[in-house]
Amino acid sequence: MATTSRSLADDIRGRSDAELIDLVLARPDLARPAPADLTGLAARAGTRASVQRAVEALDRGHLQVLEAVVVAGDGADRSVLLQLLGTDDTKTVETIVQDLWRSALLWRGADGDHVVRTVPEVLGAAVAGLGVPMRELRPSSPPEHADPDRIRATIAEAPDDSRAMLERMTWGPAFGVLPTAAPGRTTARWLLEHHLLVPVSTDRVAMPREVGLVLRGGRLHRVAELTPPDIEAHAVSLVDAAAGGAASECLTHVDELAAAWGADPPRVLRAGGLSVRDLRITQMALDLDPEHTAFVVELAYAAGLVADDGEVVPVWAPTSEIDEWSSSEAGHRWAALALAWLASTRAPHLVGRRSTGTGPANALGPDVQWPAIRAIRREVLRELASLEPNRAPAPASLRERLAWRRPNRTAAVLDEAVEAVLREGEWLGVTGRGALSEAGRALVAPLVPAGRGDGGGGVGVANTSNGKRAARRRGDGGSGVAAGITSTEQPAVTVETVAAAMSAHLPSPVDHILVQADLTAVAPGPLVGGLGSFMRLAADVESRGGATVYRFTPESVRRALDAGWTAADFIETVRRSSRTTLPQPLEYLVSDVARKHGQTRIGGAAAYIRSDDEAVLDTMLASRDLAPLRLRRLAPTVLVSSADPRVLVDLLRDNGFAPVHEGQDGTVVHAETPRRRAGSRRRGPGPMVSPVDRPYTQSLVDGLRAAEATADQRRVEDETRPGPRIQAMDPVVTLSLLRDAVADRHGVWIGYSDGHGATSRHLIHPQKVEGGRVRATDESGHEKSFSVHRITGATLEG
């Protein structure tokens, strides 16, 4: 690295290939799109947007050191940093400073470290809660007003009430409102007269940075937190068993969701999403609490198993992928859900919360989209993976650790998100009893070696031999800087790897049930496909857990008969599947329902009702609840109505009758469960984006080196020509160079295009860059204004 760098651009040009690769891997946004040369890379690294992404990804230790470098000033000695941080851990501070340099938040000149120009802008005026320096608050103030010894002596002479006011402002904020009462005015007046506070408006005052540092004893923070806090954890047992049970239940919930929405798909709201009413209906069908139901719905959506069908009247329906997914082995089915959850940018815990609109956020709606949840989800799983197997963290210590990792996030929002991730991990089976399961470790294994940042790295879903869907999901795109340099290169995790880790712990499917005399049947595990479909049709779920309890009811038996099952087939299927003797009450129930089933038949003429039992028809005619049907007797055994046959069937069943639908030829029309399907959400391959990994970065650096060599060769050739050569450059590079010239008060040669397209050269001394224009003095000393979009290129004078 060059030791005589004059700017960030010089510093970056002097770095080795390995250091440039580390920089791009730490801040992958610098590679998109690929810069033309190293000067362009440096200009992009100094832009506010890129610096802000990098600063927001810093952990508390790196952020504290960066703030200390800003307060200490350019070229400050390490001892000044140690004093500001209140620590003597030189090794840790040096390591963090090296990380900040490696990520181009600092650059090194002959006199020491310098912060990138936009870093103070991103941190804001109140760095670490301190105010701005005295020279900025009051430029006319003499230097002795900022002298620490003088400030310390003045504070020692301050009255008690004035000292109390200073103490309230010591740790921030450094701005205050003047009291309205006379005593408060007197206290503030003493501080203003002795230059410990500076007025910034008629009723507001500010504490200069120098005063704040003296009050803090020369330290920036109460406590230096350069290393992460430890996570308190306790041992738990049966982690994988608990995770396997939860995973099996999750698969069942998704199956039931697909069956319910395939038969009766809910409408899509005009603004997108699922209505509160439909979510409640789904909740009742799945027998879950609202938060768990929202999670299952969002999980199925993230995995591409349900979607908006795109019709004129759109509904939420299972996609064509649900059929392939349902026929897959249980481990593969779970792996698809887990990978989708890990890569999803949707936050199910926001469902029902007050959104930015007029009402609560709806499931599957736009207000549930929150990209930050993906980074939080991965950070939580990384911390769980850092613990020993079968160790569950104390939630409070985990939240404290993650707050250290992400100090720029609001504590309440972060705590809520962490709690949601832990809860969803238990529901999905990624964790069991609070500890990361074996399958969970396989899921997050590619994230762990990548360092502590969430960076731009993501989880790659590799293509598999059975032709399953493959995708590479990129990360949040944020800087990978979190605890030093973070590599964004991560190996792909395959569906097979995750599926194999979970398959061993999933309950084995069973092909039998245990029918009991109280009309219940116990499934001692997840049922095989055909038996499971039959039980969902012929019985109602009464309770879930390690075993599922079903109950046979007249309604459930009728549901099976409506679907085409005969009483004999029904009883034979139950007898064949049961390990216990078929109880007589069940046979009586099925026979009784079957005897009544179809006694009354309905057809359309508009619609007719016929029955051999005239008493049944008499009861219908006498019923007030059936009056809207306007039934009329045509014959002793025949009634007619203008209502649709399906309406007749539903209304008669609601009133205790058991009719069946009769076709035009007199045969019974069996009610098959509809199978509504939405088109696949992924109608074609998405845009192919290469990951910012080590091979890509190596190729990028090679190209930057080649471009730099070409530029050097041109500069050598131009030395023989009179005057400087001004080459065309990226506008971002031009703006960066002009701003540096303003800060350094340096002259700049620019190429300027006039209204006719002719380009001329000007030597200017920039004074200000704002609003797309440069205010500068030219060679004759006259002040002029230049439009930035007309500047074709620039180079420093001399």
Same domain, 255 and 362: yes
Which two tokens mark 142? 């003499």
Q: What is the DSSP letter of 640?
A: E
Q: Sort strands 668-669 and 471-472 into parallel, antiparallel or unpaired.
A: unpaired
Average pLDDT of 629-649? 85
User: How confident is residue 339, by pLDDT bands cut at 50, 70 and 90?
Assistant: very high
For residues 46 and 317, what is the distance between their CA atoms, to the nearest angstrom?
A: 48
Which pLDDT score is estimated for 281? 93
pLDDT, one tens digit per residue, over 474-486 is 333 333 333 333 4
Q: Where are the alpha helices (DSSP H) in 344-394?
A: 372-386
For residues 582 and 604, what is the distance between their CA atoms, to the nearest angstrom?
A: 40
Between vectors from CA 326 to CA 323 and to CA 330, what angle results, nearest 5°? 155
User: CA-CA distances (angstroms) from residue 757 to 753, 791, 792?
Assistant: 6, 11, 11
Same domain, 520 and 644: no
Higher-pLDDT residue of 380 and 203 is 380
Number of Cβ within a 10 Å radius of residue 89: 14
pTM of the model: 0.71
Report if residue 220 sits inside a domain: no
Which pLDDT score is estimated for 276? 92
- Of 194, 71, 59, 60, the closest CA to residue 129 belongs to 71
pLDDT, one tens digit per residue, over 70-120 is 998 888 888 888 999 989 889 999 999 999 999 999 998 888 889 998 898
Which two tokens mark 429? 């089976």
- Which residue range is the domain that position 742 belongs to? 725-796
Nearby residues of 785 by Cβ (< 8 Å), 6 or more positions away: 773, 774, 775, 776
Which pLDDT score is estimated for 631? 87
Average pLDDT of the chain, as a whole number? 82
Higher-pLDDT residue of 411 and 710 is 411
pLDDT, one tens digit per residue, over 124-139 is 888 888 888 888 888 8
Which pLDDT score is estimated for 712? 64
Same domain, 343 and 416: yes
Q: Which residues of 321-345 are buried (b: 16+ CB within 10 A; e: fewer)?
A: bbebbbebebbbbbbbbbbbbbbbb
Same domain, 324 and 472: yes
- Of 273, 294, 270, the closest CA to residue 365 belongs to 273
Report if residue 698 sits inside a domain: no
Q: Residue 40 pLDDT more than 90? A: no
Report if residue 480 sits inside a domain: yes
Same domain, 577 and 612: no
User: CA-CA distances (angstroms) from residue 483 to 54, 90, 98, 665?
Assistant: 11, 17, 11, 77
Same domain, 355 and 287: yes
Nearby residues of 96 by Cβ (< 8 Å), 6 or more positions away: 61, 62, 65, 226, 484
Q: Residue 695 pLDDT more than 90? A: no
Between vectors from CA 459 to CA 463 and to CA 122, what angle results, nearest 5°? 150
pLDDT, one tens digit per residue, over 531-567 is 877 888 888 888 877 688 889 999 889 888 888 888 8
User: How confident is residue 735, by pLDDT bands cut at 50, 70 and 90?
Assistant: confident
Q: Residue 655 pLDDT more than 80? A: yes
Which two tokens mark 16? 């080795």
| % the chain with pLDDT above 90 | 24
Alpha-carbon Rg for the chain in angstroms: 36
Between vectors from CA 273 to CA 269 and to CA 279, what angle results, nearest 5°? 95
| % the chain with pLDDT above 70 | 86
Residue 377 exposed, middle or buried by CB count within 10 Å (0-12, 13-18, 19+): buried
Which pLDDT score is estimated for 261? 92
Domain CATH for 790? 2.30.30.100
Q: Sort strands 600-603 and 659-662 into parallel, antiparallel or unpaired.
A: parallel
For residues 106 and 97, what is the distance between their CA atoms, to the nearest angstrom?
A: 8
Report if residue 13 sits inside a domain: no
Same domain, 379 and 473: yes
Lowest mean pLDDT among 49-58, 304-313, 753-762: 753-762
Average pLDDT of 709-727? 61
Lowest mean pLDDT among 309-323, 324-338, 748-762: 748-762
User: CA-CA distances (angstroms) from residue 477 to 44, 219, 499, 686, 692?
Assistant: 15, 34, 28, 17, 10
Q: Residue 584 pLDDT more than 80? A: yes
For residues 48 and 394, what is the distance between their CA atoms, to the nearest angstrom?
A: 38
Same domain, 542 and 648: no
Which two tokens mark 253? 């919930």
Strands (E), 188-232: 198-199, 204-206
407 in helix, strand or coil? coil
Amino acid at 629: L
Average pLDDT of 668-679? 68
Report if residue 787 sits inside a domain: yes
Higher-pLDDT residue of 577 and 712 is 577
Same domain, 400 and 547: no
Which pLDDT score is estimated for 483? 39
Which pLDDT score is estimated for 757? 66
Which pLDDT score is estimated for 466? 37
Report if residue 701 sits inside a domain: no
Which pLDDT score is estimated for 242? 92
Nearby residues of 164 by Cβ (< 8 Å), 6 or more positions away: none
For residues 454 and 381, what is the distance between their CA atoms, to the nearest angstrom?
A: 11
Give the end-to-end CA distance of the chain in Å, rounded to a whole number: 23
User: How confident is residue 183, by pLDDT bands cut at 50, 70 and 90?
Assistant: low
Rounded to the nearest angstrom, the gap between the alpha carbon of residue 348 and the centroid of all alpha carbons in its chain is 10
User: How confident is residue 10, by pLDDT bands cut at 50, 70 and 90?
Assistant: confident
Amino acid at 97: V
For residues 518 and 584, what is the distance between their CA atoms, to the nearest angstrom?
A: 10
- The total number of structural domains in the chain stands at 5
Average pLDDT of 260-270? 89
Report if residue 600 sits inside a domain: no
Which pLDDT score is estimated for 476? 37
Lowest mean pLDDT among 52-61, 223-232, 637-646, 713-722: 713-722
Cβ-contact 293, 263 below 8 angstroms: no
Which pLDDT score is estimated for 480? 37
Strand partners, 114: 107
pLDDT, one tens digit per residue, over 132-165 is 888 888 888 888 888 889 998 998 888 888 888 8
Rounded to the nearest angstrom, the gap between the alpha carbon of residue 759 and the centroid of all alpha carbons in its chain is 49
φ, ψ of residue 665 to 5 degrees: the values are: -90, 5
User: CA-CA distances (angstroms) from residue 327 to 324, 384, 467, 513?
Assistant: 5, 32, 14, 21
In terms of average pLDDT, the best of 567-581, 604-618, 777-791 is 567-581
Same domain, 581 and 454: no
Cβ-contact 453, 446 below 8 angstroms: no
Q: Residue 795 pLDDT more than 70? A: yes
Q: Residue 458 pLDDT more than 60? A: no
Lowest mean pLDDT among 55-59, 439-443, 466-470: 466-470
User: CA-CA distances (angstroms) from residue 552 to 359, 410, 597?
Assistant: 41, 51, 16
Q: Residue 493 pLDDT more than 80? A: no
Same domain, 373 and 259: yes
pLDDT, one tens digit per residue, over 379-431 is 999 999 999 999 999 999 999 999 998 888 888 888 999 999 999 999 999 99
Nearby residues of 686 by Cβ (< 8 Å), 6 or more positions away: 471
Q: Residue 342 pLDDT more than 80? A: yes
Higher-pLDDT residue of 701 and 546 is 701
Cβ-contact 483, 453 below 8 angstroms: yes
**DSSP sequence for 273-302:** SB-HHHHHHHHHHHT--HHHHHHHHHHHHH
Q: Which helix (H) or strand (E) holds 792?
A: strand 791-796
Report if residue 678 sits inside a domain: no
Same domain, 490 and 556: no
Which pLDDT score is estimated for 720? 52
User: How confident is residue 465, by pLDDT bands cut at 50, 70 and 90?
Assistant: very low
- Of 602, 609, 645, 648, the closest CA to residue 625 belongs to 648
pLDDT, one tens digit per residue, over 277-328 is 999 999 998 889 999 999 999 999 999 999 998 888 899 999 989 888 988 8
Which pLDDT score is estimated for 717? 54
Number of Cβ within a 10 Å radius of residue 776: 24
